[in-house]
Amino acid sequence: MNILLGLVLGLAISGSVAAADPRALVTDVIGNTIPEIFAFDEIDAGTTIVLDDSAELRLTFYPTCEDITVRGGEVAIFDAHMTIEGDGELLEYIEGECPTAVKLTESDIINAAVISRAQNAQKDPEISPRPVIGVGGAGSQRFHTIIVTGGRGVRIEMPIVLRKGIWPADAEPLQHGKKYGIAIVGDDIKPRVAKVIANSDAPELLVLRH
């Protein structure tokens, strides 16, 4: 079995992803893979992931924003397409929207002023009013808390569980058009910070890169 995906680049190319950037984002993984990967790992072109027969892998392919779930076989990632080979089974295929990805910077101090001055790889990246925030990059397991601040000192703290924070059900949503600061913190490690702007049309998933 050989399935070829992602050739039609006109579907929904993410403007924040250039050819040298990661080509896919793992959003969930069940079972064993070679190499071993985890949710919110980003995958470069030229990578092949081998899944156990019962293992399942869900990922977003950045160039086309396809959301794909595979069981077993091998998944090969290229610049403009990906393939499912061997005994791999395509469980789900959705033409979706790519998550927003934000590059974090280091900070010695956590407060609203420092966060508001943080620089990002893109100008005013957008965040959903009730986001799911994933933490990517090597060493992400060392961070345990996400802090969101606003112009009036609004402060929401979310625990990071399996490299992900979910907006609390009882917390007020972020206000459309308002700017906020985000920090991720851990023990004995410098916080990473960024600024974002709330947009009701933004993807629910925001990925923090460090």
- String of DSSP letters for 127-144: E-SS-EEEE-STTGGGEE
Backbone angles phi, psi at 189, to 5 degrees: -150, 140
Among 59, 98, 93, smallest CA distance to 76 is for 59
Flag whether pLDDT at 176 surpasses 70.
Answer: yes
How far CA 171 is from CA of 89, 152, 154, 156, 167, in Å, comes to: 39, 15, 11, 8, 7
The mean pLDDT value for 74-78 works out to 96
Confidence band (pLDDT; 50, 70, 90) for 14? Answer: very low
What pTM did the predictor assign? Answer: 0.82
Flag whether pLDDT at 147 surpasses 60.
Answer: yes
How far CA 51 is from CA of 17, 90, 140, 162, in Å, comes to: 26, 13, 23, 20
In 125-188, the DSSP E strands lie at 126-127, 132-135, 143-150, 155-159, 164-166, 179-186
50 sits in which H/E element: strand 47-51
The mean pLDDT value for 10-23 works out to 48
Flag whether pLDDT at 185 surpasses 70.
Answer: yes
- Give me the pLDDT at residue 111, please: 64
> For 3, what's the count of Cα atoms within 13 Å in the CB-facing half-sphere?
19
